[in-house]
Structure 1
Amino acid sequence: MTQSRAPRVLRQATDPRRASYLELFFDLAFIFALMRLSRHLLADLSVAGAARTFLLLAALWAVWVTTAWSANWYDTGNRVTREFLIAVMFGGLLMAASVPEAFGRHAMVFAGAYLAVHVGRGLGFSLALRGHPRVWRSLRIVMAFGFTGVPWVAGILIPQAREALWALAVFLDYLMTRLRWPIPWAGRSTWEELRVFGEHLSERYEQIFIVALGELILAVGGAYSDSGFDTARSIAFALAFLNAALLAVVYFIPREGRLGTVIDESDVPGRLAMDTAFLHLALIGSVVATAVGDELAIQHPHSPTPTSVVAVTVGGTVLFLVGRNLTAYLIDRRPPWAGLSALAALLVLIPALLRLPPPASIAASDLVLFGIVAHQYVTTRLANKPEPSA
């Protein structure tokens, strides 16, 4: 491709900022991935099992978020970009399908697809942009993933150290990204090179969170359908549905369409967009954990509550509140006192929840989330209350 044609691949300031249908189609692969991850966690609720699930989620999230950024940088109406989006979707499906045995007999499929997505996409856009200054952005990314690919490949070849090597690989991938892919002989990308369109990226984050909540609805609906419609399970199901609804409402409270504007108006848009991308890993992980906890509460509403059930049910909400509070702070630049109070209240309730039936953990999560919604409602009404006339 000549230098004159290269900019056609890049998204222009005049291009539509809304997500394309192909990006929404790509999210379908992530629904499947989240379903596989929740099954993976459900099969092993130990600390080690949760760590392995989070490791797989972090790798899958890296694929999704780098794809979202690619669609932000490159014109999704261009044939080259469309082809790479479809190819990445196929790679994501391969990773999702291999999740149950990712640390076993399908390790090569999971790690191989992960590396193929990142390296292949980077090489492809490097070729499309050759002769254009932005080519170095793609080349640095390719070289960085080539470096971090070493522990990924080593993990395939050394099963005994697979978890440790892959944890190192994921850590390095995220670290290199946050450091803007520093390469000794090529420098690192500037924040100007990493400039994004905030409106588009904010919309993509919102869409993927709704997709994650869709997986939560599928999980609790399936558990209720399979377990029976007795009173206890019906109550647990209603609480779980309310939980999903409150997560959606609370997620949008600190935004109200402002995240995209804040990113665009930031002195360093790329840095803020990157920070919120990392925080969304916690938010998506919270929904996966919540789905497992809600499903167990519906299936066993009368059983004594094991610590592991409280850990995923309440822990999911705790993780959500941590991600939500930090995101709210990045947007508003002031402490989100309602969210911090809700987080403290939920942590205080944990000892009591260990002595109550599993649905109580969902009810406690619903209560603190409702408290945030009520606080927002009251403060909004007070702010809009007209001043009394003299």
Structure 2
Amino acid sequence: MGSRSEGANRPRRTAGLRRLRKRLWQPPRPHGQVRAGRRVSFLELFYDLIFVVVIGRAAHALAADVSWRTVGEFVVVFGLIWIAWMNGTIYQDLHGREDVRSRSYVFFQMLILTVLALYTEHAGGEDGRAFAVVYSVLLLVLTWLWYVVRRHDPPELRPVPALYLIGMVLSVATVSGSAVLRPQHRLLVWAVLVVAWMIGLMLLHRPDRSIEDIGVRPSPALAERFGLFTIIVLGEAVLGVVVGILDAGRTPRAIATGLTGLLIAYAFWWTYFDLVGRRLPGVTGGWFGRWVSLHLPVTGAIAAAGAGMESMVEHATDSHVPLATGWLLAGAVALLNLGLIMLIRTLNDYRRLLPVYRPVNVALAVGAGVALLIGWIRPPPWMLALSLVAVLAAVWWVGVNRMLHLPDPDEALPKPE
């Protein structure tokens, strides 16, 4: 009797295990199945924190030797890091679940990113080959994830994901093939790839169609993730100030210069989050792809400024800021301003808040020019930092002043938390 009842219960246990496995290991959500009201998960926050280490290694290499060559290397390497983060972030927002499968793939990416950080600081030189190999593995994992999504997409939504998948495959082939090249040629190939990604994202879908027609709906959670990445690079700026003060011997002049430089990071925060933070792009006119791609120069400028702050504090006692450092900081502010001008135009609120954004864009353009002029003058380090803060503060004030003149100022610009 015991063996007979055990045999009868075996199909039930098997069916129960299948149901459990189905719940824990589900396929990704196809395009079009957007989760309304989704919030950023703790796993996504953990994933973003891994990039603190990777970006920190890249910024440290730039801060240690500020020159035109190292700036170029930083721009290219940061671009590759951002492409990896963007792919992982958008995939999780559109297709991820709270099951074991999604979590396992996120943690697997984090393991690869940890190894990638080991080779990031000298990716433009002796560690470039190892960086290319590890980065190729990361892209290969992301390519597999996007491929599985396409397999579960309805037929009418497959053309655009197919083009995206082709871009991922070409990226894997390009980066892996660059491992056999000389460092200068390898960097050139990487630079072309980064530019191609920016152009490709801007041409992601036809301007006369809505992004929702291909099953993509920008969510508040996605806007929050892009804001969190901005906070990550702002944190690197704070770290740059602390490292610069320590390297300068913690002298009163270095501490004062560092704290003044820290105001630049504060001004970046105010400018970004009051003007574009948590605001979604338009769903028509091709604005979504542009909104995504334009975050690359904006966040890259902030990260580069962090490296510039470290170098600036180390030269706190100089009568003039070093030429390369001055141009790096001033150029970062100018690039941030110009990037925000283009980013603002992608926002869904741009037309509604045109009385605010039109003068703000003018102020951003003027501020970019003034920042470059300050960098050319090469004032003492503390004065350079204070002058750039004044430029960013003036731009912010233009926006706030216009906001206060609207009928409902509370609805004009978001209140940062």
Q: Report the TM range for the smaller structure's normalisation.
A: 0.7 to 0.9
Provide the residue aligned with 2:290 in structure 1. 275
Distance 1:224 1:367, change over 3 A: same
CA contact (8 A) 1:41 1:292 kept: yes
* Secondary structure of the structure 2 residue equivalent to 1:17: coil
TM-score scaled to structure 2, two decimals? 0.79
**What one-letter code is carried by the residue in structure 2 that aligns with 1:169?**
L
Structure 2 residue 245 is the aligned partner of structure 1 residue 195: no
Alpha-carbon separation, structure 2, partners of 1:169 and 1:344? 29
Distance 1:238 1:141, change over 3 A: same
Alpha-carbon separation, structure 2, partners of 1:202 and 1:120? 24
Alpha-carbon separation, structure 2, partners of 1:385 and 1:23? 35
Alignment of 1:80-95 (within 5 A): 80-95=101-116
Which of 308, 317, 324 is equivalent to 2:333?
A: 317
Provide the residue aligned with 1:147 in structure 2. 170
CA contact (8 A) 1:9 1:78 kept: no
Q: Deviations over 1:273-311 (max 9, x none)?
A: 321221111111111221122112222112132210111
Distance 1:62 1:155, change over 3 A: same
Provide the residue aligned with 1:97 in structure 2. 118
Q: Deviations over 1:18-77 (max 9, x none)?
A: 211111101111111121111121233222221111110110000001111101211331
Distance 1:66 1:131, change over 3 A: closer
CA contact (8 A) 1:293 1:309 kept: yes
Q: Deviations over 1:304-347 (max 9, x none)?
A: 32210111111111111111222123222554222223223223
Provide the residue aligned with 1:253 in structure 2. 274
Structure 1 residues without counterparts, runs of 5 or longer: 183-189
* Secondary structure of the structure 1 residue equivalent to 2:214: coil
Structure 2 residue 137 is the aligned partner of structure 1 residue 116: yes
Which moved further from structure 2: 62-71 or 144-153?
144-153
The Cα of 1:229 is off from its aligned counterpart by 4.1
Q: Deviations over 1:223-270 (max 9, x none)?
A: 22443443322321221121111110111122364x22x44xx325xx
Which of 68, 78, 92 is equivalent to 2:99?
A: 78
Structure 2 residue 368 is the aligned partner of structure 1 residue 343: yes
CA contact (8 A) 1:289 1:315 kept: no
* Secondary structure of the structure 1 residue equivalent to 2:38: coil
Distance 1:373 1:117, change over 3 A: same
Alpha-carbon separation, structure 1, partners of 2:366 and 2:193? 36
* Secondary structure of the structure 1 residue equivalent to 2:387: helix
**What one-letter code is carried by the residue in structure 1 that aligns with 2:382?**
P
Alpha-carbon separation, structure 1, partners of 2:32 and 2:235? 30
Structure 2 residue 252 is the aligned partner of structure 1 residue 231: yes
Structure 2 residue 186 is the aligned partner of structure 1 residue 162: yes
CA contact (8 A) 2:311 2:325 kept: yes
Q: Deviations over 1:93-139 (max 9, x none)?
A: 22222112323443333222222222222324534663542666655
Structure 2 residue 84 is the aligned partner of structure 1 residue 63: yes
**What one-letter code is carried by the residue in structure 2 that aligns with 1:275?**
R
Distance 1:135 1:108, change over 3 A: farther
TM-score scaled to structure 1, two decimals? 0.84
CA contact (8 A) 1:6 1:132 kept: no
Alpha-carbon separation, structure 2, partners of 1:284 and 1:194? 27
Provide the residue aligned with 1:171 in structure 2. 195
Alpha-carbon separation, structure 2, partners of 1:118 and 1:384? 49
Which of 298, 303, 309 is equivalent to 1:294?
A: 309
Alpha-carbon separation, structure 1, partners of 2:148 and 2:231? 35
Which moved further from structure 2: 108-117 or 55-64?
108-117
CA RMSD of aligned residues (A): 3.0
Which of 328, 348, 351 is equivalent to 2:344?
A: 328
CA contact (8 A) 1:37 1:288 kept: no
Give aligned pairs, total: 370
Distance 1:341 1:56, change over 3 A: same
Structure 2 residue 54 is the aligned partner of structure 1 residue 46: no
CA contact (8 A) 2:327 2:375 kept: no
Alpha-carbon separation, structure 1, partners of 2:213 and 2:109? 26
Alpha-carbon separation, structure 2, partners of 1:129 and 1:383? 46
**What one-letter code is carried by the residue in structure 2 that aligns with 1:73?**
L
Distance 1:201 1:222, change over 3 A: same
* Secondary structure of the structure 2 residue equivalent to 1:28: helix
Runs of 4+ deviating beyond 6 Å: none
CA contact (8 A) 1:29 1:93 kept: yes
**What one-letter code is carried by the residue in structure 2 that aligns with 1:310?**
G
Provide the residue aligned with 2:41 in structure 1. 20
Alpha-carbon separation, structure 2, partners of 1:165 and 1:140? 21
